[in-house]
Structure 1
Amino acid sequence: MKVKAYIASAFSKDNTGGNQAGIIFLQQPLSVTQKIAIAKELGFSESAFISGSDQADFKFEYYTPTSEVDLCGHATIASFTLMRELGKVVPNQYTIETKAGIIPIEVQPKRIFMNQQPSEFFEKIEKPELSEAIDISAVNDNFDIQVVSKGGKEILVPVNINELNALNPNWQAIATLSEQYGVIGMHVFGLSETDIVCRNFAPLYGINEESATGTSSGALACYLFTKNIRRQKEYIFQQGANLGSPSEIVVKLSVNQQDEIIGVNVGGAGYVDDVKFLEVI
């Protein structure tokens, strides 16, 4: 059986870079094993499988080369970028059914945004627990290392921005730590006066590092706002330059009169890269 797989990038910067995802419109049912095999052959951190839904406009399933995940921001943005190019959607509001719930999507002429609920905050982690995963001398002691969830739990790790690119992660140690805390991976970030730069590690799911992560960016925006580290209604996160794929993730927060976050919109630009035909057994 041949399966048509599109490739599109999300969170691109000036129509280059970003994070690639595989996108498959399901014409017939595929098993979990087949979906993982397709994701593995495509070789991207995540691929999206799109079908009809009786609960929303579309149903989205997300697979890494090793397993299924509940939600993936960049694969969602890439998919709607492709669907806009194919004429399957137009600038408007849509909804998608995912394992993380029903997610509202806004299609704009140049950007796609996905709406999410505010992040949940979980345990704080002491710096020595990261000693085998990264060089903890780079950690910024002014801020908390904490597990935060935005569709999937991540460990947010503040580091000194000048040492961010020099980090040499221990993938096995990060995978072990991720399993211990029940998280997808580790989202490491550094702050300058003007920029917020990130790196994301998820070796437990077969993704050592990826160039743009939407759900993690949403979690980080909530973290920065809630902890009064950098209070903004709109954040722009830079990621992926160290991988040769510069990315720009935009996060817009909605807050009430008490300055409590009531909505999170994560989005960015994208472009269509390629199409492949895969033989699936």
Structure 2
Amino acid sequence: MHFIDVCVASAFSKNNRGGNQAGVVLQGASLNRKEKMRTAHQLGYSETAFLSQSELADYKLEYFTPTGEVPLCGHATIAAFVVLNYFGQLKKCEYTIETKSGILSIAVKDGGVIFMQQNTPEFYETLELADVVDCLGFNADTAPGNLPVQIVSTGLRDIIVPVENPLVLETMVPDFAAVSKLSQKWNCVGIHAFSLVEDGKLTAVCRNFAPLYGIDEESATGTSCCALACYLYQYGVKRNQYVFEQGRSLNRISELYVSVNAGDDTVDGVWIGGCGYLESLKTIEVE
């Protein structure tokens, strides 16, 4: 029986509210894989990050959902650095982390904004719109004809789905069993649906569904928003920084920043950033 200290932090918050909650365990090295899985399952957050020392980077991070391990999680990484900052552990502006998606860089900016490097994008198969409309419960006529349904990854494979109207995006009711089946078929984490908006600095509103990993819907998904930014750049919506809103349907409005570096019209660097705050500290008992 283990007593495990857990920090609960929100990442990608907006005005110190909302965001996506993650568990953060600072004594990750003292737990075996089964204990990490049980901890994540008991906490019930979409992801829990486990920190330990690394021989290859400043920190090693491992990520577990309630049902299994994933190689990378943007919001849990931001949450982990929010916790480290809260406890006064951040003494410099740049860090490296060891993950199962590789060695990645972290930048701590003024105002507590934390940016995380992602892998350069990989573009995979395009899907037929008919493959996803039944999963998401919207009419094919409400999808923009100039943007494809495509699998894109900056660390995790996501099915990017454009929706013409933000209202359609907000009101659609997914069939989670069908989303799981489609995700499994294409070896993806889930579906990241979005609708472009014309609202000042905001680029798009998003919803993310990953029921295959026990997450019906997530309020902020850093890796998916990075994939979306690269997808938009690829298809003509070219910017140096993208701003995405997510989580409105869950009453946890989140704001995510994606910075893109590109040379010769090809993305060669992408970073996800956001703010966060520590919500609570708790101790749980795990067998």
What range is the shorter-chain TM-score in? over 0.9
Q: After superposition, where does 1:23-38 map in structure 2 within 5 Å?
A: 23-26=24-27, 28-38=29-39
1:201 alignment partner, SS class: strand
TM-score by length of 2: 0.94
TM-score by length of 1: 0.96
2:178 alignment partner, SS class: helix
On the 8 A contact 2:138/2:168 being kept in 1, the answer is no
C-alpha distance in structure 2 between counterparts of 1:181 and 1:11, whole Å: 28
Counterpart among 130, 144, 148 of residue 148 in structure 2: 144
Deviations 1:18-56 (Å, cap 9, x if unpaired)? Answer: 000000012653222211111111111000000000000
On the 8 A contact 1:148/1:155 being kept in 2, the answer is yes
Q: After superposition, where does 1:159-198 map in structure 2 within 5 Å?
A: 159-160=163-164, 161-194=166-199, 195=202, 196-198=204-206
Bigger CA drift: 134-143 or 215-224?
134-143
Q: Check if 1:259 corresponds to 2:260.
A: no
1:165 alignment partner, SS class: helix
Which ranges of 4 or more aligned residues in structure 1 deviate by more than 4 Å? none
State the Cα distance separating 1:136 from its structure 2 match: 4.0
Q: Gaps (5+ residues) in structure 2?
A: none
2:75 alignment partner, SS class: helix
1:104 alignment partner, SS class: strand
C-alpha distance in structure 1 between counterparts of 2:209 and 2:188, whole Å: 11
Counterpart among 118, 121, 135 of residue 119 in structure 1: 121
Counterpart among 215, 224, 229 of residue 216 in structure 1: 224
Counterpart among 237, 251, 259 of residue 244 in structure 1: 251
Q: Gaps (5+ residues) in structure 1?
A: none
Deviations 1:123-173 (Å, cap 9, x if unpaired)? Answer: 000011124311241433321000001111000000122200111000000
Identity over aligned residues, as a percent? 44
Residue 268 and residue 91 in structure 1: after superposition, are their counterparts in 2 closer, same or farther (change >3 A)? farther
State the Cα distance separating 1:262 from its structure 2 match: 1.2
Aligned amino acid, residue 226 of structure 1: Q
Counterpart among 263, 278, 282 of residue 276 in structure 1: 282
Residue 221 and residue 27 in structure 1: after superposition, are their counterparts in 2 closer, same or farther (change >3 A)? closer
C-alpha distance in structure 1 between counterparts of 2:24 and 2:150, whole Å: 32
Task: State the number of aligned residues.
Answer: 279
C-alpha distance in structure 2 between counterparts of 1:20 and 1:46, whole Å: 8
Task: Give the superposed CA RMSD.
Answer: 1.2
State the Cα distance separating 1:105 from its structure 2 match: 0.3
Q: Check if 1:232 corresponds to 2:239.
A: yes
On the 8 A contact 1:49/1:62 being kept in 2, the answer is yes
C-alpha distance in structure 2 between counterparts of 1:36 and 1:6, whole Å: 16
Deviations 1:48-92 (Å, cap 9, x if unpaired)? Answer: 000000000000000000000000000000110110110111341
C-alpha distance in structure 1 between counterparts of 2:29 and 2:258, whole Å: 35
C-alpha distance in structure 2 between counterparts of 1:71 and 1:28, whole Å: 18
Q: Check if 1:207 corresponds to 2:209.
A: no
